[in-house]
Structure 1
């Protein structure tokens, strides 16, 4: 029997649940159906994720009596662009959707951000669901409602705050990730220990190697604790007027590094954030704001 835990992002009438656990793709249809307004969904995914998980998701949706179509985009940070955003919108509108339709983002941060922004924009806003399949997207980009795309002037400069109806973080999908992607996501996990929970950071120091090497219990706990921290901060400051800025630790330097490498696979987002955290601490120590 698949096991999962649930927590809630408390945003009054826009509150939503985050499910963290094993086997959630098989349960996706049953979990999604109660929170959407019609039986029609469009799944947006990429060329890497589709062969692994699209059929399983479609089977789960069909078993719940839901009708789905899919849009498959190229994988990679370059897809998070104005050109591909326009292409995605065109494909969605070509399916003659109405405002009751729901988009489902099946993939990592690029697919989640792009699909969320499409949901916020098309027909002035339709529902969407996040099914993140990378460690980074499970602990960070799928939660909190930041959606958007990159521009020539920088990362995430076009977008909207737009909350999903549901987040399903299936730990099983991490089994197919390259080790590089796991390590990149781990930078965001460590960030939560640094900004919100010293005990969690100490736990990561003890379990980090096993977590990165595939220990499912440790992965589940890390995703759950990270989502708890982010959900708490987002509930306090949804649109980043104050405390939510803590979540940007490492991102100022990190986004600059990503821009300098052309938003390419030369430097993954999590890798850039990890480097950015180190640079932020070095600068803080240099300015006398913290000890080395």
Structure 2
């Protein structure tokens, strides 16, 4: 796979009346024309957090000011605040401000803000418009696309939510300049995931270019975001509400969500937990006989090159992780299902393969 440097890329998520565009490029947050057609009413509530807001909320407000009445709500930052209590802060502002059904929420932040603001938009007056302005790599390549919204519960991640598509996703690559290295690495977990589940050419390219990607070369950033969003858009269009192949996007997530819940939300970043989870999924597939040892080592090597963990904390207990995995959204008729790889670039949703899974958990954890 080779790339031709581009300054901007545009994609379309084709979902009939719920279709929307994804724009990827530099300087999009400050361009009034980038929002044209995505916001239909006069009133806009920018929902951000107290880390991202000081950096970008005025830029966005200025871009919208000529055509809209703009207010800003800054929520506390972090996965630990992705709760029903925080969601109610958005509802409080909307109700106190007498926002109508023609209002629009603009989600300015990472995956937590996108998910919680999107859920507020899905729920307020049974659904209002929202626009995604993702400011982390993870949100740009994954959570901002596809319409999954929600909050966490103490017993499970993202167990309370709704499908609600945005009216536009604006991915300004300039914001990645201020993204801390740990957050950038966390986003790379979701990028690598696309290569593992359905795009082996992309995985090969990531393997060959990881050093330059880590250096955040602009043309490479646009390409990894474009390729990731294109992969996700194809899956979402084929299975919007995750009744079939969209579950493939959860490679590593069943393990990873259990790790996040057990460690406490925010202790490990989502991408860090997914990275370790993908290595655990690869180990399980090896024990079944689907992957060989060389493939597992290659997967671990690429994940490590992205400055991500290849194993979970060993001090956790396998029985606890197994119990948390049993609450996963992919459980069907009481049976845990996993996303596992037959090959690099070829994943399937399958039963838990209990003996192989138990062997993997016992390998990584105490009993």
TM-score, structure 1 length as denominator? 0.96
Q: How many residues align?
A: 288
Offset from partner CA, 1:63-118 (integer Å, 9 cap, x none) = 4x222100000100011111111122112211110000000000000000000000
Q: Give the whole-Å Cα distance in 1 for the aligned partners of 2:45 and 2:211.
A: 38
Q: What are structure 1's unaligned runs of at least 5 residues?
A: none
Q: Which residue of 2 aligns with 1:41?
A: 44
Q: What are structure 2's unaligned runs of at least 5 residues?
A: 1-5, 294-367
CA-based RMSD of the aligned residues comes to 1.1
Q: Which residue of 1 aligns with 2:268?
A: 267
Tell me, yes or no, if the aligned pair for 1:33 and 1:39 is still in contact at 8 Å. Answer: no
TM-score, structure 2 length as denominator? 0.77
Q: Give the whole-Å Cα distance in 1 for the aligned partners of 2:164 and 2:214.
A: 31
Q: Which residue of 2 aligns with 1:20?
A: 24
Q: Give the whole-Å Cα distance in 2 for the aligned partners of 1:209 and 1:274.
A: 18
Q: Choose 1 or 2 for highest CA Rg.
A: 2
Tell me, yes or no, if the aligned pair for 2:7 and 2:219 is still in contact at 8 Å. Answer: no
| Runs of 4 or more consecutive aligned structure 1 residues displaced over 6 Å after TM superposition | none
Alpha-carbon shift at residue 16 of structure 1 (Å): 0.3
Offset from partner CA, 1:153-182 (integer Å, 9 cap, x none) = 110000001100000010000000000001
Tell me, yes or no, if the aligned pair for 1:257 and 1:272 is still in contact at 8 Å. Answer: yes
Alpha-carbon shift at residue 291 of structure 1 (Å): 2.0
The answer on 1:203 being equivalent to 2:223 is no
Q: Which moved more, 1:136-145 or 1:192-201?
A: 192-201
- Match of residue 163, structure 1, among 154, 162, 165: 165
Offset from partner CA, 1:113-163 (integer Å, 9 cap, x none) = 000000000111000000000000000000000000000111000000110
Q: Give the whole-Å Cα distance in 1 for the aligned partners of 2:257 and 2:102.
A: 35
Q: Give the whole-Å Cα distance in 2 for the aligned partners of 1:287 and 1:163.
A: 37
Q: Which residue of 2 aligns with 1:108?
A: 110
Q: Which residue of 2 aligns with 1:10?
A: 14
Q: Which residue of 2 aligns with 1:53?
A: 56
> What does 1:1-292 correspond to in 2, within 5 Å?
3-27=7-31, 29-63=32-66, 65-264=67-266, 266-292=267-293
Q: Give the whole-Å Cα distance in 1 for the aligned partners of 2:60 and 2:240.
A: 30
Equivalent position SS for 1:42 = strand
Alpha-carbon shift at residue 290 of structure 1 (Å): 2.4
Q: Give the whole-Å Cα distance in 2 for the aligned partners of 1:208 and 1:169.
A: 21
